[in-house]
Structure formats: structure tokens, C-alpha cells
Amino acid sequence: MRRVLGVLGALALLAGASCVGRGEAKSPDTLRVTSLGGRVQVRSERGWTQLARGDVLAAGAKVRTLADGTVRFGADKGSQLELAPNTEADVLSGRGLSVVRGAALAVARGPVRLEARFVSVRVSKGAVRVDRGLSVRVGTYSGTAAVSVGLASTTVPRLREVVVAGQALPRGVRPLMISAQDRWDRRFLADAIDLDRDLGNIARGFGALYGARAASASFFGRFLPLDSTAFIDRYLDQADGSDLLIGLAAASMISSRAGGSIPQMFGTLVDQRLAGATWGLIAIERDLIGAELVARVVLAIDQGTRSAGPTGRPSASASPRPRASSSPSPRPSPSPSPSPSPSESGLPSPVPSPVCDPITSAIDPRCQGALGLGAPLDQGSGILGGVTGLVGGLLGALLG
């Protein structure tokens, strides 16, 4: 019996050793390492050994990445498969991986298969990720993914995800959860992440400026020209005031471009937001240009602030001038001739400092941080970095 086990063990080691080749011709049943960084290892008869670019893995090979490791494989028909750090996977063939732990990405140009626990994912064209932890998450950046668990199956469309806990497939999908710290999210959805950051800064300013006063539908009528605000009522207890304002701005953009009802589009957009979608994802799905949406929101805030100041009273520009004192004026005394003004003396006039209310603090770098609204914006990147020309006139009005 021991002899039989010894023979079987030797065969297993030989099988493991045959899963890795160097410089071998690519075939539909193998994966080739096209790029890697850090520690990426393959299991062989010598234990875990470092992979190298150009290595070819056959079905049955076991691969892992350590905390600093990433790897990309060339698959059949030009598809690519990738492993994130701290991931372990088994090679199924030249068209697939089985994720033991961690995360894998498929950028498919032909049929590709990913597996994780009881979940099978098939992609014909598009970019799909699979994360395996206590549950299995399947998220789609582009294209669609066919997800099955046993006899149950569902389709995950673009910018959606499904999370499978145990062996039960959920009835529906949900918006894709994204993070600025995730390398694949940054690669595929950088514009959405930038827009979420910029709108987040503006939303914090809006909340600090108006707070609980954004609690009636009529309140929003000062920001955008609306025939009626009654359609906002049902969302007042569900969404933040800033989300309602952004939803109105986005709905007006879509309506002006493609026609249709602002109230109906507003409801659709806010429902997506309440379901978990970020405004960045919503903008991408609706083909909205992020810089234009930021400009529309800023213009709306300016309109509302001018029509009623931050305290709810008329803005300072509309305030009456202070009346002269009724007390007797002292007799004038001789005084030296007035000094020439800077402009008369040839010196440049000083640049006036901005009025740093919460909205300008979210937009103007001279104000950022003054009201404790978070870290200053990076004007060299993101949507606000490219919206200067669109809202230049507005900034001048806000700062005046």
C-alpha cells in the first residue's frame, strides 16, 4: 500500500512539473506570462518558485501573488487574465482561471471563464472581475458576464455587480461598488472616481451652507428653473439635499440634450443613486461629461445663493446701504492732502481676497481648508482641473 501511495505521489509531482514551461509555443490550452511585478509564484516539485515573463502555464498549474505581486497572462484569442496582490488561482486552460482566494480580472476578446467556489463566470467580450473572500463578487466594467450557480443563472450588465454568499444566486444585480484605492477601478473608471471626488467636495460645501434647510421641495426651485417642484417631495426623506440638487442638474442636462421630462429623469437618476450607484457611474452610463455636470451644479448653487443668501435672507449685494448716523458731525479739521491711490501711483491694485463660504471653499483653492471641509483639491487632476474655463465667470461672481 505504501508503495502504491509513493508511486501516486511521484506521478502528482511530475504532473505539477509539467504545468510550467519556458519559451514554449503558445497554444489555446496554455497561458503565457506577459507581464508581472513583485513576487509571483508557481507551485512545482520544489515548492513555490518565482515566475518569469514568458513562462507558459498549462491546465492544473497553481499560481499565487504575494502582497507586492501582480501578473498578467496572455490567453486564447488575445484575451488577458490578471491576478491582484494576495491572490491564489488554478489554471483551467488557456481560457480560464479558478480563483482560490483574492481577485482576478478578465479582459476578454473571445470566450473566457472564471470560477470561484460554486460560481462560474463566462465572458465573451468585455472586462469582468471576480473577487473571492467570504463571498464571491462578480463585477462588470464593460460588456456582460453570464454568472451561474448550479442550475441558476443571471446576466450582469455593464457597471453592475452580483454578490454570491453560499450557494444561492441573488435575484438581481446592484450598481458596481468602486474605490479610488482599487487599481482596476482606477484603470477602467478614473473619470467616475474623479467626478465623485469633485462632486463630493461641492456636496460637503452645499451641506455646510444650507444644512437642514434643504428639507422642502420648494427650496430647490431657487436653483433651477422648474415648472413645479412637487415631484421632489417623495425623495426628501430618502436622499441628501446635495444628491437632490445634483440629480436635478443631471436631469436638466439630459432633458435639454435628448428631450423628455425632467421629473421622470430625475426620479430615475435618484433611484439609481439610492440603490448605491455613485454619480460618477451614473454620468458614465448616461454619457454625461463630468466637467459639464460640475459646471451645471456650481451654476445652480450660484443661482440659488444669489436669489437668497446663505442665511435665507437676501444676499449681501441686495442689502441696503447703512444709513448715516443722526448724531452731530464734528467740525472738519485741516488734514494733509490725500495720498495717491495704488493705481494713481503706478503700483498694482491688491487682489481682493475671496469670501470663503462653504461653496467657494469647495471650488476655489484660496479658500480650501478654511472651513474644515477636508483636504484641498488637486487642481492639476480631476474634473475640476478641466472645468476652469466653464465656470471662470461664476468663480468671479462668487469671489466678488
pLDDT tens track for 324-339:
333 333 444 444 444 4
Res. 206: pLDDT tops 90: yes
Query: Is the whole-model pTM more than 0.85?
Result: no
What average pLDDT does this structure show over 193-206? Answer: 96
Query: In the structure grid, which three cell numbers stand for residue 262, read together?
Result: 425632467
pLDDT tens track for 296-309:
999 999 988 887 65
What average pLDDT does this structure show over 299-324? Answer: 58
| Per-residue H/E/C for the chain | CHHHHHHHHHHHHHHHHCCEEECCCCCCCEEEEEEEECCEEEEECCEEEECCCCEEEECCCEEEECCCCEEEEECHHHCEEEECCCEEEEEEECCEEEEEEEEEEEEECCCEEEEECCEEEEECCEEEEEEECCCEEEEEEEECEEEEECCEEEEECCCEEEEEECCECCCCCEECCCCCCCHHHHHHHHHHHHHHHHHHHHHHHHHHHHHHHCCCHHHHHHCCCCCCCHHHHHHCCCCCHHHHHHHHHHHHHHHHHHCCCHHHHHHHHHHHHHCCCCHHHHHHHCCCCHHHHHHHHHHHHHHHHHHCCCCCCCCHHHCCCCCCCCCCCCCCCCCCCCCCCCCCCCCCCCCCCCCCCHHHHHHCCCCCCCCCCCCCCCCCCCCHHHCHHHHHHHHHHHHC
Res. 263: pLDDT tops 90: yes
Residue 170 pLDDT level (bands cut at 50, 70, 90):
very high
What average pLDDT does this structure show over 114-143? Answer: 97
Highest mean pLDDT among 26-35, 126-135, 210-219, 352-361: 126-135
* pLDDT given for residue 390 in this prediction: 41
pLDDT tens track for 26-47:
567 899 999 999 999 999 888 9
* pLDDT given for residue 224 in this prediction: 92
Query: How many angstroms separate the Cα of 31 from the Cα of each of 16, 52, 134, 329?
Result: 15, 13, 28, 93
How far apart CA 363 and CA 198 sit, in angstroms, is 9
Query: In the structure grid, which three cell numbers stand for residue 165, read together?
Result: 454568499
How far apart CA 20 and CA 43 sit, in angstroms, is 9
Computed over every residue of the chain, the mean pLDDT equals 79
Query: In the structure grid, which three cell numbers stand for residue 232, read together?
Result: 421632489
Contacts for 277 with CB less than 8 Å, ≥ 6 apart: 159, 175, 176, 285
How far apart CA 269 and CA 138 sit, in angstroms, is 23
Residue 304's nearest CA partner among 241, 223, 396 is 223
Res. 221: pLDDT tops 50: yes
Res. 13: pLDDT tops 50: no
Cα-to-chain-centroid distance, residue 56: 35
Torsion sign across C-alpha atoms 370, 375, 379, 383 = negative
Residue 215 pLDDT level (bands cut at 50, 70, 90):
confident
Residue 367 pLDDT level (bands cut at 50, 70, 90):
low
Percent of residues, the chain, with pLDDT higher than 90: 61
* pLDDT given for residue 330 in this prediction: 40
* pLDDT given for residue 312 in this prediction: 46
Selected residue with higher pLDDT from 361 and 391: 361
Res. 207: pLDDT tops 50: yes
- Could you state, in order of their start, the residue ranges of all structural domains in the chain? 16-175, 179-314+352-400
Torsion sign across C-alpha atoms 49, 50, 53, 57 = positive
Query: In the structure grid, which three cell numbers stand for residue 340, read together?
Result: 495717491
CB 310 within 8 A of CB 209: yes
CB 137 within 8 A of CB 107: no
Domain 16-175 annotated CATH 3.40.50.10140 = no
* pLDDT given for residue 212 in this prediction: 74
Res. 391: pLDDT tops 80: no
What average pLDDT does this structure show over 60-87? Answer: 95
How far apart CA 326 and CA 357 sit, in angstroms, is 34
Res. 315: pLDDT tops 80: no
Residue 81: beta bridge partners? 73, 106
What average pLDDT does this structure show over 361-387? Answer: 45
* pLDDT given for residue 101 in this prediction: 97
What average pLDDT does this structure show over 10-17? Answer: 39
Burial class (CB in 10 A: 0-12, 13-18, 19+), 220: buried
Neighbours of 347 (CB within 10 A): 10
* pLDDT given for residue 2 in this prediction: 42
Res. 226: pLDDT tops 80: yes
